[in-house]
Amino acid sequence: MPDTLLSPTACNFIAPSAFNANYDIVWSFQYSLCGNTNASGGFTTFLVDSSVPQLTGGGIGRSLGYGPSTNFTNTTNVSGISGAVLGIAFDSTGLFATSGYGFSNGVLNPSANSISFRTGYNHLSTFVLSALSTNVVILTSAETYNTLRFQLTNIGRTINVDYLDTKMNYNRLVSVDTNIIVSTNTSYKIGISYASPVSGSKGKAKLNIKNLHVHGTQNVPTTTELPFTPL
């Protein structure tokens, strides 16, 4: 049975600079996702391969502007974003983590207000946000900002997610093994996407993003052999 969305919205964008994944890539931003009690929505921050010349794709609904989008009434099927490497979704419904509607795999049952990870479009892991911290809320009734920080580290094999508390200290939300393998020249660009509503006839939630900062290096690693003199 196709899903019917009420005036669906989806959008995405990428920052212009690319950074070598052999070194740590760190990005942060403030977000506000707000709507009434009937609203649903979610956003994804993602990595795309820098070799892709232009960002294309990204579907409505549970795809959150990142993944493929199929089986919706009165809409055109859409492929996932080009060059997708890793997607980290904050979803008020949890449907981003499930299979179907464009995603070939995922969890059986959605967990509302969860954070989910996909390598490419393959489901990696999902966590209920309240079990990680009660200080980060995905969807609020009024425009309220939270600050998130993401760190791709361990030569691309680990992604850390932190939040900024009221004392201006970053605290770890979760650390996940990505299973990503990078080469010497692998570099990524950072993006953010959004969709609302996620499913059914629920109302829209509005996303605002500000103060996006990305840190990394464009250098390609080189090997230097140091001289060694035995004692």
pLDDT tens profile 177-196: 998 999 999 999 999 999 99
pLDDT tens-digit readout, 152-169 = 999 999 999 999 999 999
* Angstrom distance (rounded) from CA 68 to CA 36: 27
Query: Are the C-beta atoms of 41 and 82 separated by less than 8 Å?
Result: no
| Residue 64 buriedness (CB in 10 A; 0-12 / 13-18 / 19+) | buried
Q: Find the mean pLDDT for residues 72-86.
A: 90
- The domain ranges of the chain are 9-215
**Taking 80 as the threshold, does the pLDDT of residue 59 lie above it?**
yes
The pLDDT value recorded for residue 139 is 95
**In the prediction, which pLDDT does 200 show?**
80
What are the pLDDT digits (tens) for 97-123?
A: 999 999 999 999 999 999 999 999 999
CATH 3.40.190.10 matches 9-215: no
